[in-house]
Structure 1
Amino acid sequence: MPSATQPEAAQIVTNLPGSQTAIVQGPEGRLFIQKNGRLPHLSADQILVKVIAVALNPCDYKMAERFPSPGATDGCDFSGTVVGVGIDAAQTNKFRLGDRVFGAVHGSNPIDHQSGSFAEYVVIDAGFLFHTPSNISNETAAGIGGTGLGTLGIALFRSLALRGRPDKPVDNGDFVLVYGGATSVGTMAIQLLKLSGYRPIATCSPKNFDLVRSYGAYNVFDYNAPDVAESIKAYTKNTLTYALDIITEVKTMKHCYGAIGRVGGKYTCLEKYPEHLHTRKAVTPDLVMGISILGKRIALDHGYGSDENLELREFGVEWYATLQQLISQGKLRPHPIKVLPGGFQAILDGLSLLKGRTISAQKLVVGIAES
């Protein structure tokens, strides 16, 4: 039944606290631990989740630094248990109180300060929430999250416009370069590409070659090698058409452009690229913002914003349904995780580790509640 504090809830637990702890932006976007904050408001089409674990992403510190909005809750990926179901969401019978779930939200959202996973409670649209299989821990589920999966749905099947899908693979698919293969997004991209019938190749540090190959890469190249672009071009016989640049720096964009074959192709990146690096007319560059898969307006400047897009939201809901099947069937192997003890302070410490680039081939996860 609806409660006085959550009037749009069809189902709600009776022992919700009156306040929560969260990591929010302070002056100039500086992140701090806020105690006694308000619980997020549950809308009719949303699910209220008690957060058990969160995963850390570079975007978690970059958003606060680049787009300061004091009061905004930070964080994207999470896992937890359902403690509230909105009136409209309840009509689908997809989620019930007590269900173990995981997903991702738009953290540090300047127009929705309650949207962030680094908190004791988070709300999320029902169409973008996953059920956690019984054989997956809450920490691993948080590590899978939804940030990377949503990003890859757009990057692979809309930006690069690959025809094959995990549920409808092509035969003898093309090579696809994953630049940054040892990242959590990279290992997931490799798996999705292989399931879709393509031949993923990747770059990473030599120490991570075996790891990246174990996720299905056909070949792996040292991103520090001065001739990496030429090596990729030789391996693909000058036919590479698709490049996904997860790192997106000056060097990585140059390498991707150099690796793409003679006839050109598509280059998709996850950060805004300098226009002067677009040096080949035969290559089409594109920036992907993973959070745009929610279909909501993104109120960010510097070229990162976008309007509401209901068609993209529809694609996103369908893509998440496909992903749920793959996850439930055990067809997607999680990235190696490293659990940091220490609750909310560990989140801040972990973000410092990410910013300092001291983490390699691991997904940082922090537990903030008892499972």
Structure 2
Amino acid sequence: MTSQTAVVCAGAGQYRVDHAVPVPSPAPGMILCAVRAVALNPADWKMIDFSATASNNLVVGGHEFAGEVAQVGDGVTSVKVGDRVLAPVPGLNECSLSAGAFCQYTTVAADMVCRIPEGVSYEDAAGLSVVTCTAGLALYQSLGLPLPGQQAQSDATKPTYVLVSGGASATGTIAIQLLKASGLAPIATCSPQNRDMLLALGAVETFDYHSPACGMEIRNYTDNALAHVLDCVTQAESMTMAYEALGSGSGPKKYIALDPFPTRIQYTRRDVQADWVMGLSLFGEAVKLAGVYGRPARPQDRVFTAQLFALMERMLAAGTLKPHPVELRTGGLAKVTEGIEDLRMGRVRARKLVYSV
């Protein structure tokens, strides 16, 4: 096969389906994968709306997939043809037109894939890579928390609480499981109907974000000692709540978001270090997006991501990392744009949209 079907950039705010996109060949250290399922992310609409260019109409969209290794490049020994894998890819990348996930065949670096264990479907695996990388970068690079296996001897009488605001989000459910594996005590905000799910994943307690006293309830629960927050919602209300929940002691306190946040709230507490994660830095290359979304190259994130994928593979095999609940939709690549529109309009909650290819 020399050409394939793919969802490509058609200008600002628009995608289109193209049936004549070249099938790439894997360079040394790379692998070619037959895509079996793709998952959607907020970046799929944010990038096309705010940062996409139309200088080349063969720029493939999509940021994560699950599939089968179809060909390996020179020097690749870690995986073989026929292996089932999941991986993130830099979609809408002008520097590598075929790097997206919304296609039948895509290439990815061999050390950036995670083998899928038996019993986990392509559809469940498709949405794991981006959220795991994002959660990992936030928890372990930005917040400086210990990776599983690196934690110091814990004091059972003084658990280290970490608040995951938006615990029922895709990033939130993965963050809770990583925190549990690290020997920490994740607490989360969520709607009451998602409480049981988060407790089953490892949260030690949940709080209803609808409550006007949510922040103070968390501060009381943590005995005024909360020092770490991951905000997966990143709205003015969630940031205000997080700042109310953080303890008032003299030690360092950190707040990490997944999007830019209001500085008017940030500076209400000068004792809190606030930052946000740009998930696309996981590839180690410069993020060439407009405004605050641009990032210089961070090779250290590339190194960390490879380590994180090895951890994810072990946790998946052991059954200690569960995929976020999936909403599987029909229609394949031809219907992906409908799902992107639903994400854009905020019509998807507590589910990961996935399409079989």
TM-score by length of 1: 0.90
The answer to whether the Cα contact below 8 Å between 1:167 and 1:322 also exists between their aligned partners in 2 is no
- 1:87 and 2:71 equivalent? no
Q: Secondary structure at the match of 2:127?
A: helix
Q: 1:224 aligns with which of 198, 210, 217?
A: 210
> Structure 1, residues 235-292: CA drift from partner, whole Å, max 9, x if none?
1111110000011111111111111110351000110123222121100011111221
In the aligned structure 1, how far is the partner of 2:344 from the partner of 2:298? 32
Distance (Å, rounded) in 2 between the aligned partners of 1:44 and 1:29: 34
* Correspondence for 1:281 among 255, 262, 270: 270
Give the match for residue 155 of structure 1.
138
Which of 253, 260, 277 aligns to 1:265? It is: 253
Which has the larger displacement, 121-130 or 306-315?
306-315
Determine which of 29, 38, 43 is the counterpart of 1:54.
Answer: 38
- Asked whether the 8 Å contact 2:13–2:45 carries over to 1, the reply is no
Residue 333 of structure 1, CA deviation: 1.3
Note the C-alpha offset of 1:168. 3.0
Letter matched to residue 147 of structure 2: R
User: Comparing 104-113 with 295-304, which one deviates more in the overlay?
Assistant: 104-113
Moved over 6 A (4+): none
Query: Relative to structure 1, is the Cα distance of residues 114 and 340 closer, same or farther in structure 2, using a 3 angstrom cutoff?
Result: same
Q: Among 197, 215, 235, which residue is 2:201 paired with?
A: 215
1:299-328, CA deviations, whole angstroms, 9 ceiling, x for partnerless residues?
Answer: 112122222222332222122212211112
2:162 is the alignment partner of 1:176: yes
SS in 2 for 1:112: coil
Moved more, 122-131 or 346-355: 346-355
Q: Please, which moves more after superposition, 69-78 or 352-361?
A: 352-361
Quote the residue 2:230 is aligned against: 244
1:7-22 to 2 correspondences below 5 Å: 17-22=1-6
Q: Aligned equivalents of 1:153 and 1:225: distance in 2?
A: 29
Match of 2:149 among 164, 167, 190: 167
Of 289, 298, 311 in structure 2, the residue corresponding to residue 322 of structure 1 is 311
8 Å contact 1:23–1:73 — kept in the other structure? yes
Rounded to whole Å, the distance in 1 between the matches of 2:233 and 2:334 is 27
Q: Which secondary structure state, in structure 2, belongs to the residue aligned with residue 28 of structure 1?
A: coil
What CA distance in whole angstroms lies between the structure 1 residues aligned with 2:51 and 2:214? 34
- Structure 1 residue 41: Cα displacement: 4.3
Root-mean-square deviation (Å):
1.5
Percent identity over the alignment? 36
Partner of 1:192: 178
Match of 2:8 among 24, 43, 65: 24
1:353 offset after TM fit, Å?
1.9
What does residue 191 of structure 2 align with?
205
Secondary structure at 1:143's aligned position in 2? Answer: coil
> Could you tell me how far apart the structure 1 residues matched to 2:223 and 2:118 are?
45
Contact 2:138–2:277 (Cα < 8 Å) also in 1: yes
Equivalent residue for 1:75?
A: 62
Equivalent position amino acid for 1:260 in 2: L
The question of whether the paired residues in 2 share the 8 Å contact of 1:111 and 1:299 is answered with: no
Structure 1 position 223, deviation (Å): 1.3
Per the normalisation by structure 2, the TM-score is 0.93
1:348 aligns with 337
Matched with 1:138 is 122
Return 308-317 or 192-201, whichever deviates more: 308-317
Is the 2:36–2:65 contact (alpha carbons within 8 Å) kept by the matching residues of 1?
yes
Counterpart of 1:104 in structure 2: which amino acid? P
Check if 1:333 corresponds to 2:317: no
Q: CA separation in 2, counterparts of 1:323 and 1:343? A: 27
1:100, 1:131 within 8 Å by CA — same for their partners in 2?
Answer: yes
User: Where does structure 2 lack aligned partners over 5 or more consecutive residues?
Assistant: none
Report the AA paired with residue 268 of structure 1: I
1:359, CA displacement in angstroms? Answer: 2.2
Report how many aligned residue pairs link the two structures: 347
- Given that 1:23 and 1:32 are in contact with CA atoms closer than 8 Å, whether structure 2 keeps it comes out as yes
**Where in structure 2 are the equivalents of 1:95-114 lying within 5 Å?**
95-114=79-98
